[in-house]
Structure 1
Amino acid sequence: MTARRLPRARKAAAAAVGAAAALVLAACGTGGGEPTRHTGHDSAPSASPSASASVARSGHNAADVAFAQGMIPHHRQAVDMADMAEGRAAAKEVKDLAAAIKKAQDPEIRTLTGWLTSWGEQVPAEGAADHSGHSGHGDAMSGMMTDQEMEQLEKSSGKAFDTAFLTLMIKHHQGAVTMAKTEQTQGSHPPARAMAGEIIASQSAEIAEMRELLGTD
């Protein structure tokens, strides 16, 4: 794989993220919205068959909960993959991309966790479930890596790592985009839908960049 600078893809990603960030601010500033962390938000008492009434009062629905509960382990795994790149990647572009992924997704994990906590919903536990054990999100649609794929990536280095990282992260990003599109069409919480739009824009741009690095665009 030949390392190349990709100013066009980077510029597109930056523009997309900036536009989506404006959507988040707009959503949080509208009537009935709340700050991203939602520390003062009235929470639903529990997840129960009567949750629909609580959902109506708190401005979110079951799709918003599923989005947050699915995206948290998804992002955690992407961060784990990005952490590997610092000491294993050969190309500077791959290291820079991994750093950008971690910088974007760490804060989103905290925001998603804050939403679930404010809604009285379960926050996915950390650990092995973040990989193949996350039932319902460890399939091809979500793009989650299996434990075996993560172990193979961890054992690789240099150009072999770069190729494996880019190939797996494309699949991972595609899953995130699919999940985010579902949130946009089915969710009701404005900040969550705005975050979904940001994920679609930024990760689609990164998919194009990774394909260019692999020479498969």
Structure 2
Amino acid sequence: MLTPSAVPRRAVLAGLAVTVAVVLAGCGGGGKYSSATEQGAAPTVPAGATAGTTTTFNDADVTFAQAMVPHHRQAVEMSVLAETRADNTDVKALAKRIRDNQQAEIDTMTGWLAAWGRPAPMPGAGHGTALPGTDHPMPGMLSDADMQKLADARGTEFDQQYLTMMITHHQGAITMARQEIATGANADAKALAQRIVTEQQAEITAMRDMLSRL
């Protein structure tokens, strides 16, 4: 079982939180944009994107979406593994909920980026992806080695690794979401960020409880 020391883990997360705060706060310092005026014509709005996503946004909104898409993709990948490797029924149910919710949010954010005329991260870019425009790794992202260890595990060992790794992963997502709430301009993106904070913090509490019972 992969059981990182709790103290180093907190230290790493604290350091990453500071890094993201600095990076994303800097990104949020730019002016607001209108995708219609910036590109000369109103862009095609993807299915599921609201009118608000095509008007006001800033660099922090773009960075949030471009970073959170691959972050969510890794959570989906982790959760798909649970379908054939997890033993605990509560872990399986949680993994399915995470997979479905985060895939829906990926679809929403890629729609926003298209509406804003900004590139969406390509699937399969690898793990440990850096924050857009920086060399700083996204907080909570697992390494390829960690993902391989998770894929190799089965039964209770998988359940313990999945919950431990997903707690760290969620903590990283919450760090990025809080920066969007603080520095973003787009109302829809800020609302999604707030939902990520609320829902993933609740899931962290549930996962810690599951770990204590395994």
Q: TM-score, normalised by structure 2?
A: 0.72
* Match in the other structure for 1:213: 210
The match for 2:195 is 198
Amino acid at match of 2:199: S
Give yes or no for contact 2:113–2:119 (8 Å, CA) kept in 1.
yes
Residues 177 and 194 in structure 2, CA contact (< 8 A), matched pair in contact too = yes
Query: Once the 2 structures are TM-superposed, how far is the Cα of residue 103 of structure 1 from its aligned partner?
Result: 1.3
2:118 paired residue number? 121
Alpha-carbon distance between aligned partners in 1 of 2:146 and 2:64, rounded to the nearest angstrom = 24
Residue identity matched to 2:91: V
Are residue 78 (structure 1) and residue 72 (structure 2) matched? Answer: no
Verify: 1:131 aligned to 2:142, yes or no.
no
Query: How big is the shift at 1:215?
Result: 1.5
Structure 1: 5+ residue runs without aligned partners?
1-40, 47-56
Partners of 2:84 and 2:102 in 1: CA distance: 20
CA contact 1:81–1:165 (8 Å) conserved in 2:
yes
Q: Establish whether residue 165 from structure 1 lines up as the match of residue 162 from structure 2.
A: yes
Question: What is the root-mean-square deviation of aligned Cα atoms in Å?
Answer: 2.1
Matches of 2:107 and 2:144 in 1, distance apart? 24
Provide the residue aligned with 2:36 in structure 1. 42
Return the structure number with greater relative CO, CA threshold 8 A, min gap 6: 1
Query: Are the equivalent residues in 2 in contact too, given 1:78–1:172 (CA < 8 A)?
Result: yes
DSSP-derived class of the 2:39 partner: coil
How many residue pairs get aligned? The number is 164
Note the alpha carbon deviations across 1:149-180, whole angstroms, 9 max, x for none.
00110000000000000000000000000100
Whether the 8 Å CA contact 2:177–2:196 is kept in 1: the answer is yes
In structure 2, distance between residues paired with 1:173 and 1:77: 11
Runs of 4 or more off by more than 4 Å in structure 1? 137-141
Aligned-partner residue type, residue 80 of structure 1: E
Structure 1-normalised TM-score? 0.71
Superposed displacement of residue 113, structure 1: 0.2
Q: Secondary structure at the match of 2:169?
A: helix
Letter in 2 for 1:160: E
Aligned mate of 2:101, from 91, 99, 104: 104
Q: Describe the superposition over 1:175-207 as per-residue Cα deviations: whole angstroms up to 9, x where unpaired.
A: 000100000000010000000011001000000
Q: How high is the sequence identity, in percent, across the aligned residues? A: 45
Which position in structure 2 is the counterpart of 1:16?
none
Q: Does 1:90 align with 2:84?
A: no
Q: Which residue identity does 1:45 align to in structure 2?
A: Q
Distance verdict in 2 for CA 1:83–1:139, change over 3 Å: farther
